[in-house]
Structure 1
């Protein structure tokens, strides 16, 4: 196995990542990170430190791990971008319009915001748990130039991946500290997103006139 007995994952996502890296070497880190990019519930906060620790043991090349994880992030983002492009603007508007309390003018406003801030959003979102997987979809819907999307994704992913791989590399047997604290960050971001959406719905419900008032 790539990891020593004292630090080896017993199973779960970390164990799966180790098995893939055992089988494929450094390219396996790219494959696991591709899956993480497409499926937000597969956290890179676990996969990347495992890869870094394996590099620290000399089983994998550190530069190769950073390169392949970034390639995996870019390819996974292409898949999400293609999903948005296939979905298209009209279909997205039609689906969004069916959501209770969502109005088309709000969708238009969101589109206008993304047109103005989309490049910064794509770059910075690569360093935000969960959001980094989802930001590619509106980029595809808006048909952001693919070369621009790829460059921004590569830069943002390189920063994020390098940081977590190096943490695993430097921490050695204590790589699970990254998993623990990184998991808390992911949960905090997800909770903040849920609270934001819930607050938005509550505000809309309060502003919505009652049936008696409409009559």
Structure 2
């Protein structure tokens, strides 16, 4: 028992770089910290759940976190974040909401327009399926609120879609926890993925900004 406890307490130390820092933060904050991360990721999309949730699943496998509670808190956090954006869209309308939120760092108006277009094309079902699509998952709540979608339907679709997405990522990390020899490889690979994704995101925003200023 003591050996298992030591292994669990040092689980985050097996990961290095940016991923290791995120794992240590999750380990320190616990299951409710995972919920806060997913809430923030829903409201501020550049925070990647693709990194946070697999790490939480990995730590659950090591015994540092409760797998069930991680799933519950992450889905609850995603739902509360979606409610905030739903309320904002209902309160301010789609255009005013987009103008305000597009001023956030690493967020571009085109992302909001894409989410709004997805909602126009697919209607209420887009709230469920949109939760499974990066770039749409968080922002689909704005047009849903602006169009006065029924809150009960919105809640059911959001919880179902977010639960499916969160469960898949947490389960991936949980399964990875059985492959001890792959831990370090996973850490290095995921670090590269995160760095490249952040770099591409910044480059994309710069290119969009230059194109807008040039009037293209």
| Change over 3 Å in CA distance of 1:122–1:13 after alignment to 2 | farther
Q: How does 1:1-215 map to 2 (within 5 A)?
A: 3-4=10-11, 7-10=14-17, 12=18, 15-16=21-22, 18-23=24-29, 25-88=30-93, 91=96, 114=119, 117-172=122-177, 173=180, 174=183, 176=187, 179=190
How many equivalent residue pairs? 182
| Change over 3 Å in CA distance of 1:5–1:117 after alignment to 2 | closer
SS of 2:138's partner is helix
Partner of 2:5: none
1:84 to partner: Cα distance: 1.2
| Change over 3 Å in CA distance of 1:161–1:94 after alignment to 2 | closer
Normalising to structure 2: TM-score of the pair? 0.67
In the alignment, is the contact (CA less than 8 A) between 1:45 and 1:182 conserved in 2? no
Which protein shows a greater Rg? Answer: 1
5+ residue gaps, structure 1:
96-106, 206-215
1:7 to partner: Cα distance: 2.4
In the alignment, is the contact (CA less than 8 A) between 1:38 and 1:80 conserved in 2? yes
5+ residue gaps, structure 2:
1-7, 101-112
Normalising to structure 1: TM-score of the pair? 0.67
